[in-house]
Chains A and B, each alone.
Chain A
Amino acid sequence: MPDLRGSHGDQPDHILTRWFGTPDLHRLDVYSGKPGGYAALRKALLDMAPAEITNEVKASGLRGRGGAGFATGTKWSFINRDAPGPKYVVVNADESEPGTSKDRYLLENSPHMLVEGILIAAYAVGANQAWVYIRGEYDEPHRMLHEAIEEARAKGYVGPKPFGKDYPLDIRLYRGHGAYICGEETALLESLEGKRAQPRSRPPFPAVKGAWGRPTLLNNVETLSTVPWIINNGGAAYAKLGTEKSPGTRLMSVSGNVLKPGVYEVELGQTFRHVIMELAGGPPEGRKVKVFWPGGSSAPVLPESMLDTHTDMEALAAAKSMGGSGGVIVMDDQHCIVRAAHRLLRFYAHESCGKCTPCRIGGDWAVRTYERILANEGSQVELDTLQRVSDGLQNGRCLCGLGDSAGWVIDSTLRHFREEYVDHALRHECKVEAPQEAASA
């Protein structure tokens, strides 16, 4: 049994985690028992036309859980099922967004749910082969997914005639090797093709020219894990949950200064107060939430005063942030925002693939500026530099979202915590944390 910190147990309003905690749920016989596993694949292959499957996913309103929130059914319909030649499904299991652990939670608890979702997606878009790109550090999830695929192969669900249907389906695994940028879909494809993972310019989009130059559907682990439920229960049932534009539930991995960090399944539209203070137990005794990142480190921060922001994508956009990867990082009032921003900028600078100038140069420049500020060598010049670098990183000046994300960290922390930056840069003091020996490198 994997360690479980988060939603589990039979909760009828949970879609993804309802059966988590069932002993041996990762085994095919258990998954096909009470949880009803592989009924959706059977239904899709035997009772539904491919276009009907895609329409059901469209009707559900499901939006991608990898970060961008693109409508899943619409993405599926971009692939010309009748085009001759191979097509692929590529599964993004590279999960590396700081603060995000929900795909690992799915892979370790219910790998068959993903396998089933992949097979349904492949049939719907006319692919016979799927590739799961899984981050190299995920040894245990890789092992569990591999075993699940082999069990499904032994049953014939992966193979030349799943459920007797003359439609060959195959799933292969490909391991990443430690580079955040591989989560970006076109960088992932480059990596899968055996290259340095530098994003491609679009168009062409992967739906037209993706893996190995062929039409490719690329979806996140959680997105595809949701598909079996939608096929079993209908898109309309899914659309009833959540909000009108952000239907359904999503997994939120809550981490940082909370008493019960964990991966929680949340109906979209709930507030962050509910997620952070109730589900995750709030900060330790005597401390207060200071700030949270609502959708992974790339989502602009929200201060404590915005805890009542709703979790749906529209509410987050209105709050000038985003749902991103569903990773909620909570920081309490004992921690310094300038140090936190510095740590994240080190991350973005380190992970920049180096292809665009603002991202390659800007990240390092921001890190050096933060270092001067934290060493009490700051002045107005440093504050202005941060703002300038942040502007240069944002607004489509970079080829992929990594540059924007780095800019948003600077911009949103400056916007909400200017006083703390001013304390550091101009007054050379931190009112929050005791000084540490040099900003650790």
Chain B
Amino acid sequence: MKSPDKTALSAHVLDEIKELPAKYPQPRSAVMPALDLAQEELGHLTPAAMSEVAAALQLDPGYVEGVATFYSLFHLEPVGKHRFYVCTNLSCALRGANEIVDHVKKAIGVGRSDQVSADGLFSFEEVECLGACEFAPMMRLDHRYHYDLTSEAIDTLIAERRGVLHTRGEVAAKAAKAPEGPVKKPRAPRKKKADA
């Protein structure tokens, strides 16, 4: 396991990134798969990590950052170890998604998508349609879809994740490192807008 405080990529990840361009008809296509590897290692994309990706792919760091900021699955700020991506688009909203979001917020003790729970475990985000509307309300959590959500189902998912971590003794380690409160600086909106 990597330490969560690490800000730069490890040698084996950089090696893996350097092998990516050869897999595509043109090397530039490797930028997102490379950012995936970086984010997988660090949890989110730090400026240092993006520069290292750029150097490994022989691209301009500004270019790599421009790509990273365009796509919502790249995180430029720390996120909880388990992030609730709750769909609140229309089909889910018609079946109670907004109440699910309210419940998630209360249960993990954060009010906004740029905050992380005090134990560092959880964060949430309202997302657009995830393509599983027949199971509304639904969400993505830990690379899986969860369907027909209820408050009880959310509570169980949270308890399971807290429990698992207890057994690994990671909660204590996390708690020792966690900053005072859950609230982080709000960050500027980071998507889209015309290239000036």
Note all chain B residues with C-beta closer than 8 A to A192.
29
Contact B136 A350 (CB under 8 A): no
Contact A297 B90 (CB under 8 A): yes
> How far, in Å, is B109 (CB) from chain A's closest CB?
19
Please count how many residues in chain B sit with their CB below 8 Å of the partner chain's CB atoms. Answer: 48
Q: Tell me whether A98 and B134 are in contact (CB under 8 A).
A: no
Give the one of B36, B74, B93, B132 with max A CB within 10 A.
Answer: B132
B135 near A5 with CB under 8 A, answer yes
Contact B30 A194, beta carbon cutoff 8 Å: yes
A354 touches B194 (CB 8 A): yes
Most buried by A among B91, B131, B136, B193: B131
Asked if A211 and B132 sit within 8 Å, CB to CB, the answer is no
Scoring A residues 154 to 181 as 1 if CB is less than 8 Å from chain B, else 0, what string do you get? 0000000000000000001011111110
Residues on the A chain within 8 Å of B128, using CB: 96, 98, 180, 347, 350-351
Asked if A99 meets B26 with Cβ closer than 8 Å, knowing A175-B36, A196-B70, A256-B95, the reply is: no
Contact B133 A96 (CB under 8 A): no
| Stretch of A29-37, A73-81, A257-265 that contacts chain B | A257-265
B193 touches A354 (CB 8 A): yes
Q: A140-B145, A194-B28, A440-B98 are in contact. Are A343 and B133 (CB under 8 A)?
A: no
Q: Tell me whether A177 and B90 are in contact (CB under 8 A).
A: no
Tell me if A135 and B131 are in contact (CB < 8 A).
Answer: yes
Looking at the complex, which one of B28, B90, B147 makes contact with A195 (CB distance below 8 Å)?
Answer: B28
List the B side residues contacting A327 at CB < 8 Å. 133
CB distance from A321 to the nearest CB of B (A): 16
Instruction: Assess the A177–B28 pair: CB atoms within 8 A.
Output: no
- Across the interface, do B89 and A354 meet the contact criterion of CB distance under 8 Å? no
Residues in B neighbouring A323, C-beta threshold 8 A: none
Separation in Å of the B50 CB from the closest CB of chain A?
14
Complex CA gap A98/B134 in Å reads: 12
Check A137 for interface membership: any CB of B closer than 8 A: yes
| A301 vs B64: C-alpha distance when bound (angstroms) | 40
Tell whether, in the assembled complex, residue B71 and residue A178 are in contact, meaning their CB atoms are under 8 Å apart. yes
Chain A residue contacts of B147, Cβ below 8 A: 3
Residue numbers in A under 8 Å from B91 (CB-CB): 98-99, 255-256, 261, 329
Q: Is the CB of A98 within 8 A of B129?
A: yes
A99 near B192: Cβ-Cβ < 8 Å:
no
Q: How near does chain A come to B151, taking the closest CB pair, in angstroms?
A: 17
Question: In the complex the two chains form, is A96's CB within 8 Å of B129's CB?
Answer: yes
Point out the residues of chain A lying under 8 angstroms from B157, CB to CB. Answer: none
Provide a sorted-by-A list of 27 A–B residue pairs whose CB atoms are within 8 angstroms: A5-B134, A98-B133, A99-B89, A99-B90, A100-B129, A100-B131, A101-B131, A103-B131, A139-B143, A140-B144, A175-B32, A178-B71, A193-B26, A253-B134, A256-B90, A263-B134, A297-B129, A327-B133, A329-B91, A331-B94, A340-B90, A340-B94, A343-B88, A343-B89, A347-B89, A350-B191, A354-B195
